[in-house]
Amino acid sequence: MSAATGLRRAWVVGVGLHPYQKPGGTPYTELGLTAVRAALADAGMSWTQVETAYTGTATTSMALSRLMYRHLGATGIPMVQIENASASGSSAFRQAYLDVAAGVHDVAIAVGVDKPLNFSTPTHAAGLDDLVGSRILPVTHFALLASRYMHETGAAPEQIAQVAVKNSRNAALNPNAQRPKARSLAEVLAPPHLSGIFTRLQCCPVGEGAAAALVVSDRAIDELGLNRERAVRVRSSALRSETFYGTANFDAALTAETTTEALEAAGVSADDVDLVELHDAFTIEELVYLEAMRICKPGQAAAALSAGEFDIGGRVAVNPSGGLLSMGHPIGPTGVGQIAELTTQLRGEAGPRQHPGARIGVAHMVGIGAVCAVHVLSRN
């Protein structure tokens, strides 16, 4: 979606999180409300000013939105709950953006919240079994892709593991991270191996948490007296599902298509991007998606990583939050949490993990299906 379609400008004016954490006894309502209240405080707004709410969640419960939001006040606003696998929060943010950009509302909130209580896939319910079924778990699928990547590019296992080293270093500076500890290469490579070259620290933790983002129009900024200097513009939003690519790495092909659409709609190129928050559930994903997004040339991501190009302060800061590998992947909140990180970075408020001179950021999430969501944000 671009300005050429007649959409209004839309801005992120408030973000908030509940720290990502191991599954525990915290009620999902506490997780979500902590993030919402933090976003409202960040924007200098009240709940009564919110006109519509989209909630991304995948593993908790049906109809959780009303039970959570009633603690903020019964204001009668429309509420929609969105499940789109790992892209649930990203999809909720997209709907909040489109609602404001289309002129339906002036203030929308996107919230991601999850506790891993109800994991399920549609295969059994569909009554259709394939030849593979559940015999190849995601960790093995991506381990096979890692083997293929090493064969095709000459990358070493140690170079792939450096993704986790970098992201753990970033997460150590992030108070909301589930794995807030910097890890050495030796620690990342330490056995046991879960599948192929993958060790435990090369696979993301699935925990619980929440994230929230307030999206508003120019009119709302003016009428509510919000701080325009801290507003971050949503330049585009793209969401696609896979087609037939003729390749084993359909997630990368889908990423390439979706990113191209989002960048073109935003009127920028991959060379303009300063920040990327992307789906790195396994270390190899960061490398193949960066190549698919044209952040670097095919086959060059491992070398660029080794050269420090993707560090905070490097050519493009990739997963400055710590990414799914170290920030964590509570499913529903993950995509909204990426928006929170980009917003904080583009405002220049990320403290010790601030990427200097950040002006354009990209958020990317893939969900089982497969679907892919890409958003482009900018400082103005």
Q: Which of 176, 181, 170 is nearest to 353 (CA)?
A: 170
Whole-number pLDDT of residue 138? 87
**Token couple for 182:** 């910097």
Question: What is this structure's pTM?
Answer: 0.95
What's the whole-number mean pLDDT along residues 296-325? 97
What's the whole-number mean pLDDT along residues 97-110? 98
Residue 261 within any structural domain of the chain: yes
Q: Is the pLDDT of residue 355 over 80?
A: yes
Q: Band of the pLDDT at 341, cuts 50, 70, 90? A: very high
Partners of 208 in beta bridges: 21
**How do residues 52-86 score in pLDDT, each as one tens digit?**
999 999 999 888 999 999 999 999 999 999 999 99
* Helix, strand, or coil (residue 209): strand
Whole-number pLDDT of residue 247? 75
Whole-number pLDDT of residue 137? 83
How far is Cα 217 from Cα 233, in angstroms, rounded to an integer?
10
Q: Which of 33, 83, 15, 88 is nearest to 345 (CA)?
A: 15
Q: Is the pLDDT of residue 131 over 60?
A: no
Residue 292 within any structural domain of the chain: yes
Whole-number pLDDT of residue 256? 97
Residue 14 within any structural domain of the chain: yes
Residue 278 within any structural domain of the chain: yes
357: region left, alpha or beta (phi > 0 left; psi from -120 to 50 alpha): left
Residue 140 within any structural domain of the chain: no
The residue among 3 and 28 whose pLDDT is bigger is: 28
How far is Cα 237 from Cα 258, in angstroms, rounded to an integer?
9
Whole-number pLDDT of residue 126? 67
| Residue 378 CB contacts under 8 Å (≥ 6 apart), including other chains | 232, 233, 235, 266, 268, 346, 359, 360, 361
Q: Is the pLDDT of residue 345 over 80?
A: yes
Whole-number pLDDT of residue 67? 93
DSSP state of 22: S
**What DSSP string describes 84-107?**
BTBTHHHHHHHHHHHHHHTTS-SE
Q: Band of the pLDDT at 129, cuts 50, 70, 90? A: low
Q: Band of the pLDDT at 3, cuts 50, 70, 90? A: very low
Residue 188 within any structural domain of the chain: no
Sign of the torsion formed by the C-alpha atoms of 280, 180, 12 and 344: negative
To the nearest whole number, what is the mean pLDDT of the chain?
94
Q: Is the pLDDT of residue 122 over 80?
A: no
Looking up residue 279, the CATH number of its domain turns out to be: 3.40.47.10
Q: How far is CA 197 from the centre of its chain?
A: 25
Q: Total domain count for the chain?
A: 1
Q: Band of the pLDDT at 164, cuts 50, 70, 90? A: very high
Whole-number pLDDT of residue 289? 98
Residue 370 within any structural domain of the chain: yes
**How do residues 89-100 score in pLDDT, each as one tens digit?**
999 999 999 999
Q: Is the pLDDT of residue 2 over 50?
A: no
Whole-number pLDDT of residue 198? 97
Whole-number pLDDT of residue 49? 98
Residue 105 within any structural domain of the chain: yes
How far is Cα 184 from Cα 122, in angstroms, rounded to an integer?
39
Domain that holds residue 256: 3-119+205-378
**How do residues 12-48 score in pLDDT, each as one tens digit?**
999 999 999 999 999 999 999 999 999 999 999 999 9
Whole-number pLDDT of residue 1? 40
